[in-house]
Amino acid sequence: MSAQWARTPVVRPEILAEIPHDSVAFTQGLVWLNGKLYESAGLYGTSSLRELDPATGAVKRKQALPARYFAEGLAWFHNELVQITWKEGEALRWPLSVWSSDGNTRASSAKPTGKFRYAGEGWGLATLGADLWMSNGSDTLYKRDVAFRITGRVAVHRDGMRVDRLNELEAARGKIVSNVWYSDSLVVIDPRDGRVLVVVDGSELVARSGRRDQNDVLNGVAYNPAKNEFYVTGKNWPKMYRVRIPY
């Protein structure tokens, strides 16, 4: 790790299991819900919402998005999966009831039942308590209410230095865990003041991932509170990991 992290505690995830992952998925968001994983995969023309088997990584259901969307972060919020988009300014709302139950991997005819609209880019999304937190690639996280209105914001910093390129988000144990674009690390953020409490060194995950090039970055983190475990993967990775993160 570089000297810039010297005063911030650095931890390594404990790898519990290595799980296959669809390397076609340009992972943008990952959510644990009721014993299943839900994944938002991006890129124009190939964006989708997926349901994964957390034990095998198998894609159980897949809903393709219209080609005009570049899917980004994903969160479970008020009984809906909310899937944001990169530059389209739309957050798609997916109640689980709209999904088919045949369990195949073909794109179904399901459609979102509503949309939120917002200004600027969408990168990551997470639910913490009664609020959503959203990133846009900068050093700032935005708190949003049930109507997707901005109700607060916090600039993220560690050791007095800003941390930008905040990407996929997950809430766990009252904190926000964020991928940092083009970094092999995650940061654990105190949402009250934006301070980075812990840096999670993901270099071992990256080394074992089987990624094809440097653009296949670490991205995608979901938290299972019942077991205090995380699922972590990356863009177009053929592997996903179940890990514990000590913080």
- For residue range 151-188, what is the model confidence (pLDDT) as tens digits? 999 999 998 899 999 999 999 999 999 999 999 999 99
Torsion 231-53-24-76 (CA) sign: negative
Q: How many residues does the chain have?
A: 247
Mean pLDDT of 62-81: 95
Picking from 163, 162, 148, 158, the residue whose alpha carbon sits closest to that of residue 73 is 148
Q: Which element (helix H / strand E) includes 207?
A: helix 203-208
Measured CA distances, 113 to 58, 116, 147, 206 (Å): 26, 11, 15, 37
At residue 96, the pLDDT reads 81
Torsion of CA 207, 211, 216, 219, to 10 degrees: -60
Q: Are residues 196 and 177 in contact, defined by beta-carbon separation less than 8 angstroms?
A: no
Percent of the chain residues past pLDDT 70, beyond the cut: 93
Across all residues in the chain, what is the average pLDDT?
91
Q: Are residues 132 and 75 in contact, defined by beta-carbon separation less than 8 angstroms?
A: yes
- In this prediction, residue 95 has a pLDDT band, given cuts at 50, 70 and 90, of confident
Question: What are the extents of the domains in the chain?
Answer: 3-244
Strand 140-144 relative to strand 125-128: parallel, antiparallel, unpaired?
Answer: unpaired
At residue 203, the pLDDT reads 93
Per-residue tokens: 120? 């600027």
Q: Which phi-psi region, left, alpha or beta, contains residue 89 (left: φ > 0; alpha: ψ -120 to 50)?
A: left
For domain 3-244, the CATH class is mainly beta
pTM tops 0.85, yes or no: yes
Q: Rounded to an integer, what distance in angstroms lies between the CA atom of residue 21 and that of residue 37?
A: 12
At residue 160, the pLDDT reads 87
Report how far apart the first and last C-alpha atoms of the chain are (Å, whole number). 18
Which residue, chain included where needed, has tokens 């913490």?
128
With 0-12 CB in 10 A as exposed, 13-18 as middle and 19+ as buried, what is 21?
Answer: buried
At residue 231, the pLDDT reads 98
Q: Are residues 46 and 70 in contact, defined by beta-carbon separation less than 8 angstroms?
A: no
Q: Are residues 205 and 218 in contact, defined by beta-carbon separation less than 8 angstroms?
A: yes
Q: Is the pLDDT of residue 107 over 60?
A: no
